[in-house]
Structure 1
Amino acid sequence: MAEALAHEHFDVLMMRWDGQDLCGVALMHRLRGRQANPPAMVLMLSADAPGAIGEGADALLTDPWSDASIEQAIADATAGRGVQGAAREQFGKLIFDRAACQVLVRGHPVLLTAKEFALALLFMRNAGQALSRDQIMTSVWGRGDQPGSRTLDAHVAQVRKRLALRPDQGWRLSSVYGFGYRLDKLEA
């Protein structure tokens, strides 16, 4: 199948990580090795998928799937490829440039790691809504929260610091005890 797909041109490939005829992870790696410009790849994960299985995917789609989550995964995978959707999103004075994986804060570029960028964008897109630790970990890391892990907390602290998500800047990124985090846009 990888050989047949290597000669085809398409923008997005969406596949299960554990496909019946061919493992989606293997197919993803084969296509990346055989095509100079492979399609954006969305890997569909079920609850029993190993933790780091989706590392090479452009976007992860976790079970249960909905129309909105599928659309979001495709938008994330194709960001910066000229396939669809804007490469920039603005939230107040913050401009997210998905192609460069950076945020403009009052016109000044702030470089973030890929995970910090995905985390910050998730918070912005869900401002005013409490997100559970499990929901955040699944969306950004492709796996649920692991008790005792401080990965999420460390990344949240970096995002808060680098993007100046403080009340004096019009934002409040706070923890929700026993649940997760919430980003609020404050009125001027």
Structure 2
Amino acid sequence: MRIALLEDELEQAQLIQAILSERGYQCDSFPTGQSFLSAALHESYDLMILDWQIPDMTGIEVLKSVRTHINWPIPVVFLTQRDSEADIVQALDAGADDFLAKPARAAELTARINALARRANPDSEKTTLEYGPFKINTQQRTVCLHGEMLTLTDKDFDLTLFLFQNQGRLLTREVLLERVWGLIKDVNTRTVDTHISRLRRRLGLNPENGFRIKTIYQRGYRLEAMKTEPTDTSVKSQATAGEVHT
């Protein structure tokens, strides 16, 4: 799991990073709201931890910007010295998913993060997933489209599953290399682009099947659900039904 941390106190940031690193999380820390937002809008994070009082803007302002500009419901936790009921209510009303008071307690912080991760991805423990005409069996590692099994390599399956489980979310090439291929960030390869291009064809990602992979220039890819326009027949049928009931 990749976590973005907003914390302007160096010792606090290092402590939280150490706690999360020991539990297998990757945590990038940022001391200002602007640096945090710049990274958040261009990288792929699974969860965010925000302090409230930072030099250039408030944590609430950062949260509002996240909710405005990031088009998938990324979990956000406030970790701050402010702990009055009014503060908690304000943060939750602004879109926070959880609220913790400093100092961070390692076991509680980890438990809250794990709970939010499960809530953000409720399909993670299911063996059969359905997305429109696509049915994915995680145990048998198969993908069916309109009931017909598709021919995919193991890596194609891994990439397909990751894309659908993160539908609507910007996924950078670095994140795809890390999560699907298990490669480090600095690998210079067009493997991702090649697989994405092939997957578009193999999965039939088009308006008829309700999904597309959108290329985000110089950043990565996003699997998007597409709105399908009703056919002339259905429109006529709806109009006729409306006339019957008037």
TM-score for the superposition, normalised by structure 1: 0.55
Residue 167 of structure 1 deviates from its aligned partner by 2.5
Matched, 1:167 2:214: no
Residue 145 of structure 1 deviates from its aligned partner by 4.1
Q: Aligned to 2:173, which of 103, 122, 133? A: 133
Residue 168 of structure 1 deviates from its aligned partner by 3.2
Cα distance change, pair 145–165 in 1 and its aligned pair in 2 (3 A): farther
Q: Aligned to 1:180, which of 187, 197, 220? A: 220
Contact 1:101 1:111 in 2 (8 A): no
The equivalent residue for 2:114 is 67
Q: Quick one: distance in 2 between partners of 1:139 and 1:71?
A: 17
Secondary structure at the aligned position of 1:67 is classed as helix
The equivalent residue for 2:242 is none
Cα distance change, pair 86–110 in 1 and its aligned pair in 2 (3 A): same
The one-letter code matched in structure 2 to 1:179 is: R
Cα distance change, pair 116–145 in 1 and its aligned pair in 2 (3 A): farther
Q: Which runs of 5+ in 1 are unaligned?
A: 1-45, 47-60, 80-84
Q: Once superposed, what is the RMSD of the aligned Cα atoms?
A: 2.9
Secondary structure at the aligned position of 2:26 is classed as coil
Give the structure with the higher percent helix: 2
Q: Quick one: distance in 2 between partners of 1:69 and 1:144?
A: 26
The equivalent residue for 1:111 is 151
Contact 2:133 2:209 in 1 (8 A): no
Secondary structure at the aligned position of 1:100 is classed as coil
Q: Quick one: distance in 2 between partners of 1:141 and 1:69?
A: 25
The one-letter code matched in structure 1 to 2:219 is: F
Residues 82-161 of structure 1 aligned to structure 2 (within 5 Å): 85-146=125-186, 148-161=188-201
Q: Quick one: distance in 2 between partners of 1:166 and 1:158?
A: 13
CA displacement, residues 9-32 of structure 1 (integer Å, 9 cap, x when unaligned): xxxxxxxxxxxxxxxxxxxxxxxx
Q: Quick one: distance in 1 between partners of 2:116 and 2:184?
A: 16
The one-letter code matched in structure 2 to 1:95 is: K
Secondary structure at the aligned position of 1:111 is classed as coil
Residue 140 of structure 1 deviates from its aligned partner by 0.5
Q: Quick one: distance in 2 between partners of 1:142 and 1:92?
A: 29
The structure number with the bigger radius of gyration is: 2
Cα distance change, pair 68–117 in 1 and its aligned pair in 2 (3 A): farther
The one-letter code matched in structure 1 to 2:114 is: D
Q: Quick one: distance in 2 between partners of 1:137 and 1:67?
A: 23
Q: Quick one: distance in 2 between partners of 1:182 and 1:133?
A: 11
Q: Quick one: distance in 2 between partners of 1:125 and 1:168?
A: 20
TM-score for the superposition, normalised by structure 2: 0.43
Q: Which runs of 5+ in 2 are unaligned?
A: 1-20, 28-112, 229-246
